[in-house]
Structure 1
Amino acid sequence: MPTTPPPLGLMLDVDGPIASPETRTIAIPEITADLVSLAAAGIPIAFITGRSEHFITNEVVAPLVAGGLPKGVRMFGVCEKGAVWFTIDDQGRGDVSVDTTVGLPAPVVAALKELVERDFSDAMFFDETKLAMVSVEQRTDVASAFYAQRQSEFEAAAFEVMAERGVGVRHGERESADSTGAVPFRIDTTIISTDIESVRLDKNHAAERALNFFAESGPLPRVWRSVGDSRGDYLMADHLHEAGFDAAHVDVRPSDGVLERPYPIIEIDDVIHDEAGARFLAYWVDKLGIR
Structure 2
Amino acid sequence: MAPFGLLLDVDGPIASPESRRIAVDSIVDDLLTLASAGIPIAFITGRSDAFMREQVVARLVDGGLDARSHVFGVFEKGGCWAPVTPQGLGELDIDRELAVPESVRAAVEGLAREQYADTMFVDEGKHVMISLEARTDVSPAAYQAAQSRYEAEVYERLVGSGLGLRYRDRQAHDGLGRVPWRIDSTIISTDVESVLLDKDRGADRALDWFAARGVTAQRWWSVGDSRSDYRMADAVHARGIPVAHLDVRPADGVLGKEYDVVVEGDLVHDHAGAAFLRRRVAELP
Q: TM-score, normalised by structure 1?
A: 0.97
Structure 2 distance, partners of 1:153, 1:236, is 30
1:99 to 90, 95, 102: 95
Counterpart contact for 1:74–1:217, Cα < 8 Å: no
Name the residue aligned to 1:194: 190
Give the C-alpha shift of residue 130 in structure 1.
0.4
Counterpart contact for 1:108–1:165, Cα < 8 Å: no
Counterpart code for 2:6? L
Structure 2 distance, partners of 1:118, 1:277, is 37
Counterpart contact for 1:61–1:92, Cα < 8 Å: yes
Give the C-alpha shift of residue 160 in structure 1.
1.4
Deviations 1:154-200 (A, max 9, x none): 10011112112211100011111111010000101101001111000
Name the residue aligned to 1:226: 222
Deviations 1:81-101 (A, max 9, x none): 000000011111000000001
Name the residue aligned to 2:177: 181
Q: Which runs of 5+ in 2 are unaligned?
A: none
Name the residue aligned to 1:168: 164
Counterpart contact for 2:104–2:158, Cα < 8 Å: yes
2:128 to 129, 132, 151: 132
Query: Is 2:104 aligned against 1:83?
Result: no
Name the residue aligned to 1:45: 41
2:10 to 4, 9, 14: 14
Counterpart contact for 2:78–2:201, Cα < 8 Å: yes
Give the C-alpha shift of residue 219 in structure 1.
3.7
1:207 to 203, 208, 217: 203
Counterpart contact for 1:241–1:247, Cα < 8 Å: yes
Question: Any idea what SS the aligned residue of 1:234 has?
Answer: helix
Structure 1 distance, partners of 2:280, 2:109, is 42
Q: TM-score, normalised by structure 2?
A: 0.99
**Cα RMSD (Å):** 0.7
Deviations 1:55-80 (A, max 9, x none): 00110000000011110211100000
Question: Any idea what SS the aligned residue of 1:226 has?
Answer: strand
Number of residue pairs matched by the alignment? 285
Query: Is 2:235 aligned against 1:235?
Result: no
Query: Is 2:267 aligned against 1:271?
Result: yes
Structure 2 distance, partners of 1:72, 1:78, is 19
